[in-house]
A and B are shown apart, each in its own frame.
Chain A
Amino acid sequence: MARRVPLFLKRRSYRQRRLRDAARLLPLVGMFLLLVPLIGAGGAGNTAGHGLYLFLVWLGLVAAAAALSAGLGSDPGDDGEADSPAPPDRPR
């Protein structure tokens, strides 16, 4: 029983999908950024700098997650609507 999934989405649903993509991408980005201090093996004399960097990345992740969650938490899951042909824009 294959669900019929429309090929093209309305603008709203499209944005919703991309928002989910972003939500899936975020931990990967975070993982990468958190591994950056390991590069260069200069950790010995730089705890304060590393700490500052890590907490900034952390803060960034929190902010990004907060921005994304606003759009994701209330999703009613109506992503199945096909793009109906919109009336053409009138030249003004």
Chain B
Amino acid sequence: MPFNLLVLFCLCYVAMLFCVAFLAERRAAEGRVRWLRSPAIYTLSLSIYCTAWTFYGAVGYAARSGLEFVTIYLGPTLVFVGWWWVLRKLVRIGRQQRVTSIADLISSRFGKSNILGVVVTLIAVIAATPYIALQLQSVTLSFAVFASGTPEGWALPNRDATAIWVAGGLALFTILFGTRNLDAKEQHHGVVLAIAVEAVVKLVALLAVGIFVVWGIAGGAQEVFARIDATQAAGWTLQPDRWIGMIAVSGAAVICLPRMFQVMVVEGGEDRHLALASWAFPAYLLLMSLFIVPIAVIGLERMPAGSNPDMFVLTLPLAEGQGGLALLAFLGGFSSATSMVIVESIALATMVSNHIVMPLWLRLAPKAAMKGDVRRIVLLARRLSIVGVLGLGYAYYRMSGGSAALAAMGLIAFAGMAQVLPVLLGGIFWRGATKAGAVAGLVTGFAVWAFTLLLPFFGPGTLLPQAVFDHGLFGLGWLRPQALFGIAGMDPLVHAIFWSAVLNTAAFCAGSLLTFPGPVERMQGAAFVNVFDADAAGPQGWARGRAEPEALLMMAQRILGEEPALALFEAEARAQGKAGYLPDATPDFVAGLERRLAGSVGAATAHAMISQIVGRATVSVEDLMAVANETAQIMEYSAQLEAQREELSRTAGALREANEKLTQLSVQKDAFLSQISHELRTPMTSIRAFSEVLTEGDLPPELVANYGRIIHDEAIRLTRLLDDLLDLSVLENGSVQLNLSLVNLQQLLDRALAAASHTRPERSFTVIRDLPAENLFLRTDGDRLVQVFINLVSNARKYCDAASPALTISVRQRAGRVHVDFTDNGTGIAKQHQAIIFEKFARLSDQHRAGGAGLGLAICREVMANLGGQVSYLPGRGGASFRVTLPLRIGRQAA
């Protein structure tokens, strides 16, 4: 096939990819991204795991080592099949924190640390450089294969020239579609769709070659099996250590490789994407690996000895005269290489610009950083980084001479990038992981990897002198690069993987256990580890800072662009209920803005820029504690409010009760007044009536005498009533003058009984007394006490309805007080009346029978209160029973 035709084909293919990418970008710009973000496209984009290393190198690998090549695909299969363990969390964190690269993830997790970003970026660039060189080499080799096979017999004029053309073309494509815009979410729909197309092309190409080899050359599956059994080359034995080590390292690589992280996390994955990819991506890998061994076996059989097994995919169809198939295979290989280089360089350029260029620029020109157009600087940095990364790859290709086996280079890159895995897993599952631990782990792992795998790869005498191989670094025998600690005899690759993993993890854990994380680190740690808890947002780092919304807007405009920034601020202002474009710079808003900016320039840079405006570079532990305290204070305050509210309601209840009592008292007063006017009016009426009759004269003298007596009686009754009222009012006011002396209770009772005997003298009335108990002396007002006794005795005489009435008077002393009980044998007082008998004008029977105003017991109660005691009704004693309680010696206060 003419070489020019091949080049033309390539250019057409690339033009087609341009169109695909361009159309995808157009659709995305119109907002129709739904189809572009479907799980199928996502899964296909993951296929950049299969690079030219897979496409060409796997056959070479199989030819040299048999089945071992599948480990490179079994590791990712296990990782994806077990997506519920790591990938789901990783993707969720990536979306929530707007992670832009794996370096950004690590830096963001460990307190937005820039050092970690730099370390991971450096590891990624160093590990990726041979890998990119490998892609350039494979494309160059495939060109060479076609060139040498042409009938015209011309040889490829200059391999280096081919490589530089390929590198230049890829740089152009990447810059065009990878850095067209500084997207807030760092997503490249055009590139993703282009690599999805390439994924289909390379799968179809490899399957076509495989089917041709199995059914076109070998003559069926059975035949192929037989030939595989027949071709038992040396070194095809499965080696357990390499088997396990390479499954592990490829599983780590599929998570950590910058390009895989880019398509898996950064370009936006969701659970539904992963759910499809969890089986479809392993299935893709399965199909890619299905025909590798047959191609290798048939190639070994058919091709002349000494031909490069890495190129069997191309050379076999060519040798069989299948030019079209070979062209398809060439396009497949070309696709594999280009898609990998494009995505890898985008990922690396993002890392370099976000973690190395931007921080440097902020450091060197902080004034310009706050004024100039950041977007242009970032994009320029990215474009230069892409050129730089590809240039490094090209330089490496030139340096290594393009001779080494493809598989070996790929494995070195895998092992190098796998150094990030312990820190990554620790970061998302262990809150105790600290920045110092992460730096220690990464540096240790990287150093061990470089010393045991990368540097020895170039052979003794190039980068490491022979002496180091033989006697160890600095002549220390236990520091030999392929026999660390004196343990010789391991496979060099397994040796490197084993020791780097062990020392890396050990340094990471030890560093984390021994150091104390900073406040931002602790916040981020909690946010990452508890990413699935909706309420684990925790305190915001900006709670204490003060930011001018206008300054924030200006900065956001310079990073996000004017329109998106204005829209963002306006939306926030509206959410806060404000008009215009300037919302209050609440901590939530500032934190959200920082995440948004982090999606463009990385967490560390965004943090640094925001803190320049907010005026505080870091949050201190005190701030975090203060925020926590504030929350506690608010809770305490609300508890206080609650208590006050309860107290208020209690007071209100008391007031209501008091009010009711007052109303009642007012009613009582009214009742009292009407009662008293009634009591006064009755005798007055009869006095007036009889005196009128008397003034008319002309009456018999006995009638006059009779009328005069009635008037006199009524006047006495009135006087007595008024006396009682006066007495009561004096007693109630407490202004009564007590006449205290030492008195004998027995004598008082004698006086009372004698005085009361005038009441209903016609009735025989038995009094039962306890004379010995009565014989005690009291210090009190004797006359007043007698008044009470008289009242009680005469009540008994008046109301006791027994046939032979009897009154029992018993006296008891208890704790300095004297109880005097007056109990008769009548029917007593009904329960519903017991409460009111001590009220004024309370009369249970009709007035004439009682012959009193109903003030007696009320006066008794007031007298006893003045004497420091009380009179109460004793229920359940058979008849009516009253108890008078008074102190033996009345206190000075009461007097």
Complex Cα gap A62–B232 (Å): 29
CA distance A92 to B535 in the complex (A): 47
User: Which of B72-80, B179-187, B448-456, B732-740 is near enough to bind chain A?
Assistant: B72-80
For window 47-69 of A, CB contacts with B under 8 Å fall at 47-48, 50-52, 54-55, 58-59, 61-66, 68-69
A90 touches B (CB below 8 Å): no
A74 CA to B276 CA, complexed, in Å: 11
Closest to A37 in B: B238
Chain A residues with CB under 8 A of B252: none
Of the candidate stretches B282-290, B378-386, B695-703, B858-866, the one touching chain A is B282-290
Q: Is the CB of B276 within 8 A of A73?
A: yes
How far apart sit A55 and B272, CA to CA, in the bound complex (Å)?
26
Nearest chain A CB to B480's CB is how many angstroms away? Answer: 28
* Mask of B208-221 contacts with A, CB within 8 angstroms, 1/0: 00000000000000
B279 within 8 A of A: yes
> Which B72-99 residues have C-beta < 8 A from chain A?
74, 77-85
CB neighbors of B among A19-47 (8 A): 20, 23-24, 26-28, 30-31, 34-35, 37-38, 43-45, 47
Complex: how many Å from CA A45 to CA B276?
37
Structural contact, B84 and A54, CB atoms closer than 8 A = no
Known: A47-B67, A73-B271. A27 touches B282 (CB 8 A): no
The answer to whether the Cβ of B430 comes within 8 Å of any Cβ in the partner chain is no
Distance A70 CA – B39 CA, assembled complex (angstroms): 13
| A72 interface hit (Cβ, 8 Å) | yes
- Check A44–B77 contact: CB distance below 8 A: no
Given known A-B contacts A47-B293, A73-B276, A26 and B82 have beta carbons under 8 A apart:
yes
Partner pick for B279 among A1, A38, A65, CB 8 A cutoff: A65
Is A12 an interface residue, CB under 8 A from the partner? no
Contact in complex: B283, A62 (CB < 8 Å):
yes
Q: A1-B535, A74-B272 are in contact. Are A65 and B282 (CB under 8 A)?
A: yes
Q: Would A44 and B78 be within 8 Å (CB), given that A3-B533, A34-B247, A74-B272 are in contact?
A: no
**Size class of the contact patch on chain A:** 35 or more
Residues of A within 8 A of B237 (CB): 43-44
Using Cβ atoms and an 8 Å threshold, which residues of chain B touch A48?
225, 228-229
Contacts of A83 in B (CB 8 A): none
Pairwise interchain contact A26-B67, C-beta atoms closer than 8 A: no
B residues near A72, Cβ cutoff 8 Å: 84, 271, 275
Q: Does B236 contact A (CB under 8 A)?
A: yes
Q: How far is the CA of A51 from the CA of B291 in the complex (A)?
A: 11
A28 to B85, CA, bound (A): 11
Contacts of A47 in B (CB 8 A): 66-67, 228-229, 232, 236, 293
Q: Which residues on the B side are within 8 Å of A31 (C-beta)? A: 78, 247
Contact residues in A for B83 (Cβ distance below 8 Å): 23
Assess whether B605 is interfacial by the CB under 8 Å rule.
no
Residues of A contacting B85 in the complex (Cβ-Cβ under 8 angstroms): 24, 27
Bound together, the chains give a CA A43 to CA B279 distance in angstroms of 28
Residue numbers in A under 8 Å from B225 (CB-CB) = 48, 52
B70 interface contact, C-beta 8 A: yes
Q: A81 at interface (Cβ–Cβ under 8 A)?
A: no
Most buried by A among B83, B225, B293: B83
Residues of A within 8 A of B84 (CB): 20, 23-24, 72
Does B278 interact with chain A (Cβ within 8 Å)? Answer: yes
In contact, B535 and A75 (Cβ under 8 angstroms): no
Select the residue from A30, A48, A52, A72 with max chain B CB neighbours within 10 A.
Answer: A48
Q: With the chains together, A74 CA to B271 CA distance in Å?
A: 8
A62 touches B282 (CB 8 A): yes
Interface status of B153 (Cβ within 8 A of chain A): no
Question: Interface centre among A24, A47, A68, by most B CB within 10 Å?
Answer: A47
* B478 is an interface residue with CB less than 8 A from chain A: no
B240 interface residue per 8 A CB criterion? yes
Indicate if B243 sits at the interface (CB-CB under 8 A).
Answer: yes
B271 close to A75 (CB less than 8 A) = yes
Give the residue of A43, A62, A73 whose beta carbon is less than 8 angstroms from that of B238. A43
Are A44's CB and B82's CB within 8 A?
A: no
The residues of A that contact B274 with a CB separation of less than 8 Å are 73
Q: Are A38 and B276 in contact (CB under 8 A)?
A: no
Taken together as a complex, chains A and B put the C-alpha atoms of A65 and B396 apart, in Å, by: 40
Are A59 and B78 neighbours in the complex by a CB distance under 8 Å? no
Closest chain B residue to A63, Cβ basis: B279
Instruction: Tell me the smallest distance from the CB of A74 to a CB of chain B, in Å.
Output: 7
B773: CB under 8 A from chain A?
Answer: no
B67 touching A27 by the CB < 8 A rule? no
Q: Are A51 and B67 in contact (CB under 8 A)?
A: yes
Cα–Cα distance between A52 and B274 once the two chains are bound (Å)? 28
Known contacts A45-B232, A69-B275, A72-B275; A61/B67 CB under 8 A: no
B101: shortest Cβ distance to chain A, in Å?
A: 26
Q: Is B244 an interface residue (CB 8 A)?
A: yes
Query: Which A residues are in CB contact (< 8 Å) with B77?
Result: 30, 58, 61-62
B239 to chain A, nearest CB (A): 8
Give A54's nearest chain B residue, CB to CB.
Answer: B70
Q: B66, B85, B278 — which one has the most chain A CB atoms within 10 A of its CB? A: B278
Complex Cα distance, B276 from A66, in Å, reads: 7
Q: Report if A51-B293 is in contact (Cβ < 8 Å); known contacts: A20-B84, A44-B232.
A: yes
Chain A residues within 8 Å of B286, by CB: 55, 58-59, 62
Q: Are A30 and B78 in contact (CB under 8 A)?
A: yes
Enumerate B218-257 residues with CB–CB distance to A below 8 Å. Answer: 225, 228-229, 232, 236-238, 240, 243-244, 247
Closest to B227 in A: A48
Q: Is the CB of A27 within 8 A of B278?
A: no
Given contacts A44-B237, A47-B67, A54-B67, contact A65 B78 (CB under 8 A): no
Q: Return chain A residues, CB-CB under 8 Å to B276.
A: 69, 73
- Report if A50-B282 is in contact (Cβ < 8 Å); known contacts: A34-B74, A65-B81: no
Whether the pair B279, A69 counts as a contact (CB closer than 8 A) is yes
Output the residue of A23, A37, A75 with the most chain B CB within 10 A: A23
Docked-complex contact A24 and B275, CB < 8 angstroms: no
6 pairs of A and B residues whose beta carbons are closest in the complex: A73-B275, A27-B82, A65-B279, A43-B238, A66-B279, A69-B275
Question: Apart from A34-B247, A52-B225, A55-B289, what 15 extra A-B contacts exist at CB < 8 Å?
Answer: A24-B82, A27-B78, A27-B85, A43-B237, A44-B237, A45-B232, A47-B293, A48-B229, A50-B238, A55-B286, A58-B77, A61-B78, A62-B286, A69-B278, A69-B279
A-B contact list, 29 entries, CB within 8 Å: A23-B84, A24-B85, A27-B82, A30-B78, A30-B82, A34-B74, A35-B244, A38-B243, A38-B244, A43-B236, A43-B237, A44-B236, A44-B237, A45-B229, A47-B66, A47-B236, A50-B67, A50-B238, A51-B228, A51-B293, A54-B67, A55-B290, A58-B74, A61-B77, A62-B283, A62-B286, A64-B81, A73-B274, A73-B276
